[in-house]
Amino acid sequence: MTTLSAPATTRRRRAKAPGGAAGLWTATPMTRLVLAVTIIISAFPLYYMIVIASRTNTEATDMPPPFLPGGKLGENIQRVLSNPDAHYLTGLTNSLIIAATVTVSVVLISTFAGFAFARLNFRGGKVLLLLVLLTMMVPLQQMGIVPLYRLMVSLEWVGSIKAVILPYLLNGFGVFLMTQYTQQAVPNELVEAARVDGASTLRIWWNVVLPAVRPGMAVLGINTFMLIWNDFMWPLIVLTPDNPTVQVAINSLNAKYGTDYVLIFSGTLMSILPLIVVFIAFGRQIIGGLMEGAVKA
Amino acid sequence: MSLHVDAGQPTRAPMPPSRRHVRPRPGRSFMTWLDLKAAPYLLVSPYYLLFLVFGLFPLGFTLYYSFFDYDLTGTVEWTGLGNYTAMLGDAAFWKAVVNTLAMFVIATVPQMLLALLLANALNKRMKAQLFVRLGVLLPLVTSVVAVAVVFTQLYGRDWGVVNWVLGWFGADPIDWKAERLPSWLAIATMIDWRWTGYNAIIFLAGMQTIPKDLYEAASIDGASRRRQFWQITIPMLRPTMIFVVLNSTIGGLTLFSEPTTFYNGNVHGGTNSQFQTVSMFIFEQGFREFDYGYASAAAWLLFLLILIGSAINFLLIRRIGGNK
């Protein structure tokens, strides 16, 4: 049946709408060119990072600039790691701890709340959900920065990664995403059926909801990890240079060794490696999640 | 609200707000109540606890601080709306506002057009689809600081690749950091490099929800592909565009990392603050001058700016397609 219908639709498509349907237009040479140029532009700064990070400073400031990697990468990385002002390894470890802790917590908190909003009827639920949507519009990072800092001062948490982790746990987007995802992935009938069978709410969450929303959790997790890994303003305020995140460590290098390009570039290169790993491992999910999230919003 | 007491109802837990609707199952009433009525609130409570402590509390206190005058000696004095009136006459604040708006416009307008064209290109049948999409999205995995570090080098006055390329066409080296317009352009390209592909993927998602019959009908009527793009794709993409533009508005008006890194991690935004944004201004006032009140007032004005910006953009996008 499939073998029969497939050519039939193709024929119909050709006859009725030559290249008419979205997504079914074939790419023209022009399209290919546009995409190829885009990919080159996308990749170039990353490639250039490798080029400079593997050179010496005299080569980095050559005219014309170098465009091929050199052989000094190992040496430069060694210099970053042993730099007394950057505390690079501490920064890397801190960033990993912060991003991992926040990711796990945000995914759990959002999955709980998403389940409640999507599949449990409770008084005030609609208003509470609306509140989440409203707060997504508020740039809390900029708006709350002074009181949050003073809160951390009075708790004597300044300089500790606790001060970075806790405010990040508030993530309205996560609740929104998991509500949407649960609505789509968990049929109401399934929850009702489990209820009739005598399952408690927690049991329904564990046995019915959790297995179904796992892809959504993955998407949220990847997003959160990248967001937290990259964030810069809050750690810059609340941490000290001797106990930094990786972005703050790069900033220290940048501020103190502004002309030591290879040093800064090597530090920067190492800081994006974890993200590249995530990107290669979960590329398909990242794209799928972005596209789904966009259509539902 | 009501104070009635059920016999045999344990009162270990706080009363639920809606006890009148408890399902009539007298036997295991507490467990049932816990499971059916309290569970939803327990499930959403972690988020709202965090919201209270890290959302509502700072917002309220930002407002409170903004009515006080802090100075370096530690004296705190009530000034009422003094910070706000002072700021409206503060040239440095307005400079930051103009810088922020200018970079936002310079970055966003081309970015939206490019993202639309790119999404249209991605929406065609091709080999290695996933590879191409990942390639377009590649800049997103780079941290903002990393992007800024690389572009700062590319835009270097003496050894930068950009000036070297411009040199082929006989242009004199440009000191990208020294003047307003060049620095805005440099920072705008950093933003666009990072976000155009991302927005293209979002637009692509929107394009794929447009019913294909619309295009089929249009081709039967003899509409060219270009016309189909402007008269079907763009109007049908309106919801996605609202999402993308509002996101870009919030991101663009709170710009911080790129211009800060562009000036070697300094929030002053160049020698004459030629690329200092409002976020950097808040940072500078709060954590370099330690004028918490002034910084807090600036934060509220930034919020106002975002609300106005979002409203304008929302109305603009709604008109697209509304007329067609």
Question: Which domains does chain B show, CATH number per domain?
Answer: 1-52 (no CATH), 84-319 (1.10.3720.10)
Residue A144 lies in a domain: yes
Pair A161, A266 in one domain: yes
- Cβ–Cβ under 8 Å, residues A270 and A86: no
pLDDT of A12 strictly over 80: no
Q: Choosing among B150, B199, B305, which should be mutated to test the A contact, i.e. which has the most A CBs within 10 A?
A: B150
- Cβ–Cβ under 8 Å, residues B9 and B30: yes
Gap from A1 CA to chain B (nearest CA, Å) = 23
Pair A155, A61 in one domain: no
- Cβ–Cβ under 8 Å, residues B70 and B76: yes
With a CB cutoff of 8 Å and minimum separation 6, the contacts of B59 are A138, A140, A143, A144
With a CB cutoff of 8 Å and minimum separation 6, the contacts of A154 are none
Pair A183, A52 in one domain: no
Residue A136 lies in a domain: yes
The verdict on a CB contact (< 8 Å) between A247 and B145 is yes
The dihedral through the CA atoms of B55, B56, B61, B62 has a sign that is positive
Closest chain A CA to residue B213? A21
Pair A142, A32 in one domain: no
Q: Is B128 on the interface with A (CB under 8 A)?
A: no
Domain of A284, CATH number, reads 1.10.3720.10
The verdict on a CB contact (< 8 Å) between B37 and A122 is yes
Q: Is A202 on the interface with B (CB under 8 A)?
A: yes
Angle CA A277–A227–B200, to nearest 5 = 80
pLDDT in tens, B188-246: 999 999 999 989 998 998 888 888 888 888 888 888 888 888 888 888 888 888 888 88
Residue A20 lies in a domain: no
Please tell me the least confidently modeled range out of A155-159, A203-207, B4-8, B56-60: B4-8
CA atoms within 13 A on the CB side of B303: 20
Gap from A281 CA to chain B (nearest CA, Å) = 12
pLDDT at A42: 92
CB < 8 Å to A38, chain B: 118, 135-136, 197
Residue A216 lies in a domain: yes
Closest Cβ opposite residue A113 in set B47, B243, B300 = B47
pLDDT in tens, A64-117: 778 888 888 888 899 989 888 889 999 999 999 999 999 999 999 999 999 999
pLDDT of B2 strictly over 80: no
Q: Choosing among B124, B164, B229, B303, which should be mutated to test the A contact, i.e. which has the most A CBs within 10 A?
A: B124
pLDDT band at B28 (very low <50, low <70, confident <90, very high): low
* Nearest-angstrom CA–CA distance, B119 and B207: 8
Gap from B3 CA to chain A (nearest CA, Å) = 19
Pair A218, A280 in one domain: yes
Q: Is A29 on the interface with B (CB under 8 A)?
A: no
pLDDT in tens, A183-222: 888 999 999 999 899 888 989 999 999 999 988 898 888 8
CB < 8 Å to B238, chain A: none
The verdict on a CB contact (< 8 Å) between B37 and A49 is no
Calculated CA dihedral for residues B258, B259, B264, B269, nearest 10 degrees: -170
- Cβ–Cβ under 8 Å, residues B160 and A64: no
Residue A14 lies in a domain: no
DSSP B96-132: HHHHHHHHHHHHHHHHHHHHHHHHHHHTSB-SSHHHH
Please, which residues 101-120 of chain A have a Cβ atom closer than 8 Å to chain B? 109-110, 112-113, 115-117, 120
pLDDT in tens, B93-139: 999 999 999 999 999 999 999 999 999 899 888 888 888 999 998 88
Pair A237, A280 in one domain: yes
Q: Is B35 on the interface with A (CB under 8 A)?
A: yes
Closest Cβ opposite residue B135 in set A19, A31, A42 = A42
Q: How many domains is chain A partitioned into structurally?
A: 2
Q: Is B165 on the interface with A (CB under 8 A)?
A: no
Residue A179 lies in a domain: yes
Gap from A287 CA to chain B (nearest CA, Å) = 8
Q: Is B210 on the interface with A (CB under 8 A)?
A: yes
* Nearest-angstrom CA–CA distance, B217 and B122: 22
Q: How many CB pairs under 8 A join A and B?
A: 330
Residue A54 lies in domain:
26-76
Gap from B151 CA to chain A (nearest CA, Å) = 8
Pair A62, A121 in one domain: no
Residue A11 lies in a domain: no
| Longest Cα–Cα distance in chain B | 92
Identify the domain boundary among A76, A96, A114.
Answer: A76
Pair A233, A268 in one domain: yes
The verdict on a CB contact (< 8 Å) between A27 and B59 is no
The verdict on a CB contact (< 8 Å) between A275 and B198 is no
- Helix, strand, coil % in chain A, rounded to nearest 5: 75, 0, 25
Closest Cβ opposite residue A294 in set B36, B220, B240 = B240
Q: pTM, whole model, 2 decimals? A: 0.82
pLDDT band at B3 (very low <50, low <70, confident <90, very high): very low
Pair A52, A143 in one domain: no
Closest Cβ opposite residue A147 in set B17, B62, B204 = B62
Average pLDDT of span A227-246: 91
Pair A110, A64 in one domain: no
Gap from B284 CA to chain A (nearest CA, Å) = 11
In chain A, pLDDT over 90 holds for what percent of residues? Answer: 37
* Nearest-angstrom CA–CA distance, B107 and B188: 5
pLDDT of B262 strictly over 60: yes
Of residues B125 and A239, which shows the higher confidence score? A239
CB < 8 Å to A112, chain B: 43-44, 46-47
pLDDT of B11 strictly over 50: no
Please, which residues 69-108 of chain B have a Cβ atom closer than 8 Å to chain A? none
pLDDT in tens, B31-47: 777 777 888 999 999 99
pLDDT band at B16 (very low <50, low <70, confident <90, very high): very low
Closest chain A CA to residue B18? A123
Residue A258 lies in a domain: yes
Average pLDDT, chain B: 85
Pair A98, A43 in one domain: no
pLDDT band at A22 (very low <50, low <70, confident <90, very high): very low
